[in-house]
């Protein structure tokens, strides 16, 4: 079976690396051949809006997936008429729009921070009147890792925040003073089988995921998260990996955002789970039985953003697993790699995590 992956970043690369032992073949499509994915499998280059080139790319594949949720849905729909595209383009269209995403959560009974659509400055004033400040003004589309948003800590800052986002369609959300951030990753097969990874606890820095620890031992939150994940997956007969990030507010999970793809907060599963999120995504879309998601111990992941630390120093840490994405250019805010540690106990894990964090300087 040949799997086509649209987008050849580090997530696509890790998908191919997980799939080669399963006997799967891969083909990438991206704007440039100088990509992490292009280093491990053949790549076709072209624009994401070039329907003819994408159609030719898909003709050599049995199923198509993506490693980037901003692939134009209009480019996927013609492919989906000929071969399976997973996750389904109809779901991707919702995940690409923060207002549709939050509305879906609300319709499924999944708690979210209060929100309101904002197209005009008047809409923002109405949202502030109803929801209040502080809050966060976000673009409905695009924007990730803290991009495309502006905090409004006081109503007087609303005008500057609105102007900074350039007249795009926006959403205003209440600012949540959460106690922690957690995420859950689950996979659903075309046959309807669902498997869940343990809840993970995340720490962000400047809007970018900094570290993840798993499993997060919060049984009540785990039950809530599984219930919410099942509601989403079943509504759409979803196929593949889905990740949802939550804020924890007074013991209740508030859904922040979802990603219809393998997710940064699930990188710990490569070494820390029986079957990684990458392997289970491939199993799901290829019609293979889903793998076991049990944790092998206590894991942590540290992201390397903007610069890679010394590989020699890193590999001197006992039990540290090094992942270099092979990106040629380092720049501020760019994810270049990560490291994971796995230990028998949470205390041992946290000791190793501190050593891994010190690598960042």
Q: Are residues 139 and 276 in the same domain?
A: no
Q: Are residues 163 and 187 in the same domain?
A: no
Paired residues of 138 in beta bridges: 149, 171
What local confidence, expressed as pLDDT, does residue 168 receive? 87
Domain count for the chain? 3
CATH number at residue 170: 3.30.1490.20
Q: What is the mean pLDDT of the chain?
A: 95
Domain that holds residue 170: 114-174
The span from the CA of 171 to the CA of 115, in Å, is: 7
Q: What are 55-75's pLDDT values in tens digits?
A: 999 998 999 999 999 999 999
What local confidence, expressed as pLDDT, does residue 10 receive? 97
* % the chain with pLDDT above 70: 99
Q: Find the mean pLDDT for residues 185-194.
A: 97
Q: Are residues 79 and 134 in the same domain?
A: no
The answer to the question of residue 108 being in a domain is no
CATH number at residue 48: 3.40.50.20
Q: Are residues 21 and 143 in the same domain?
A: no
Q: Are residues 169 and 44 in the same domain?
A: no
The span from the CA of 178 to the CA of 181, in Å, is: 7
The span from the CA of 211 to the CA of 174, in Å, is: 25
Q: Find the mean pLDDT for residues 334-345.
A: 97
Q: Are residues 31 and 166 in the same domain?
A: no
What local confidence, expressed as pLDDT, does residue 207 receive? 85
- pLDDT over 70 (residue 300): yes
What local confidence, expressed as pLDDT, does residue 149 receive? 86
What local confidence, expressed as pLDDT, does residue 218 receive? 94
What local confidence, expressed as pLDDT, does residue 143 receive? 66
SS3 content of the chain, % helix, strand, coil (to 5): 35, 30, 35
- Residues with Cβ within 8 Å of 245's Cβ and at least 6 positions away in sequence, in order, are 181, 182, 183, 202, 255, 256, 257, 258, 259, 265
Q: Find the mean pLDDT for residues 310-334.
A: 94
- Sequence length of the chain is 361
The span from the CA of 205 to the CA of 153, in Å, is: 19
What local confidence, expressed as pLDDT, does residue 145 receive? 58
Using alpha carbons, select from 199, 172, 165 the residue that is nearest to residue 113.
172
Three-state DSSP at 355 gives helix
Q: Are residues 24 and 126 in the same domain?
A: no
Neighbours of 83 (CB within 10 A): 13
Task: Tell me the CB-side half-sphere exposure of residue 260, using CA atoms within 13 A.
Answer: 27
The answer to the question of residue 220 being in a domain is yes
Q: Find the mean pLDDT for residues 185-211.
A: 96
The answer to the question of residue 325 being in a domain is yes
The answer to the question of residue 109 being in a domain is no
Paired residues of 245 in beta bridges: 183, 257
Q: Are residues 206 and 233 in the same domain?
A: yes
- Calculate the alpha carbon distances from 44 to 8, 63, 233, 252 in Å: 10, 16, 31, 45
The answer to the question of residue 104 being in a domain is no
Using alpha carbons, select from 279, 280, 188 the residue that is nearest to residue 229.
188
Reported confidence tier of residue 216, pLDDT bands at 50, 70, 90 = very high
What local confidence, expressed as pLDDT, does residue 146 receive? 61
Q: Are residues 76 and 132 in the same domain?
A: no
Q: Are residues 68 and 118 in the same domain?
A: no
Q: Are residues 263 and 344 in the same domain?
A: yes
The answer to the question of residue 327 being in a domain is yes
What local confidence, expressed as pLDDT, does residue 195 receive? 98
Q: What are 2-48's pLDDT values in tens digits?
A: 999 999 999 999 999 999 999 999 999 999 999 999 999 999 999 99
Where are the alpha helices (H) located in the chain, listed in sequence order?
A: 10-19, 51-59, 73-80, 89-95, 98-107, 121-131, 158-164, 219-236, 269-272, 277-285, 311-315, 346-358
Asked if 118 and 171 count as a contact pair (C-beta separation under 8 A), the reply is: yes
Q: Find the mean pLDDT for residues 283-300.
A: 98
- pLDDT over 70 (residue 144): no
Q: Find the mean pLDDT for residues 238-262.
A: 96
Three-state DSSP at 250 gives coil
CATH number at residue 192: 3.30.470.20
The answer to the question of residue 301 being in a domain is yes
Q: Are residues 167 and 186 in the same domain?
A: no
The answer to the question of residue 247 being in a domain is yes
The span from the CA of 236 to the CA of 228, in Å, is: 13
């Amino acid at each position: 079976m040949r799997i086509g992956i649209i987008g050849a970043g580090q997530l696509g690369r890790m998908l191919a690396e997980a799939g080669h032992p399963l006997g799967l073949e891969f083909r990438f499509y991206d704007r440039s051949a100088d990509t992490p994915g292009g280093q491990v499998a053949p790549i076709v280059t072209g624009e994401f809006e070039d329907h003819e080139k994408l159609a030719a790319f898909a003709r050599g594949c049995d199923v198509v997936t993506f490693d980037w949720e901003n692939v134009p849905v209009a480019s996927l729909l013609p492919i989906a008429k000929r071969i399976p595209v997973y996750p389904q383009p109809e779901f991707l269209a919702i995940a690409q729009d923060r207002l549709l995403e939050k509305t879906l959560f609300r319709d499924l009974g999944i708690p979210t921070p209060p929100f309101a659509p904002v197209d005009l400055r008047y809409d923002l004033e109405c949202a502030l009147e109803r929801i209040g400040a502080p809050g966060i003004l976000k673009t409905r589309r695009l924007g990730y890792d803290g991009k495309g948003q502006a905090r409004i800590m006081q109503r007087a800052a609303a005008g500057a925040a609105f102007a900074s986002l350039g007249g795009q369609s926006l959403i205003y959300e209440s600012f949540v003073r959460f106690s922690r951030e957690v995420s859950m990753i689950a996979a659903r097969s075309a046959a309807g089988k669902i498997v869940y990874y343990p809840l993970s606890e995340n720490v962000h820095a400047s809007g970018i995921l900094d570290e993840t620890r798993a499993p997060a031992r919060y049984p009540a939150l785990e039950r809530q998260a599984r219930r919410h994940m099942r509601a989403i997956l079943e509504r759409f007969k979803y196929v593949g990996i889905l990740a949802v990030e939550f804020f924890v507010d007074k013991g209740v999970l508030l859904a922040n955002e979802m990603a219809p793809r393998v997710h940064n907060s699930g990188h710990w599963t490569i070494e820390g789970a029986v079957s990684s999120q990458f392997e289970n995504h491939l199993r799901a879309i290829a019609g293979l039985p889903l793998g076991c998601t049990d944790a092998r111990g206590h894991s942590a992941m540290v992201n390397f953003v903007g610069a890679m630390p010394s590989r020699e120093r890193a590999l001197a840490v006992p039990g540290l697993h090094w992942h270099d994405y092979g990106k040629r250019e380092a720049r501020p805010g760019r994810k270049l790699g990560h490291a994971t540690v796995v230990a028998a106990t949470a205390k041992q894990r946290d000791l190793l995590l501190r050593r891994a964090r010190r690598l960042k300087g």
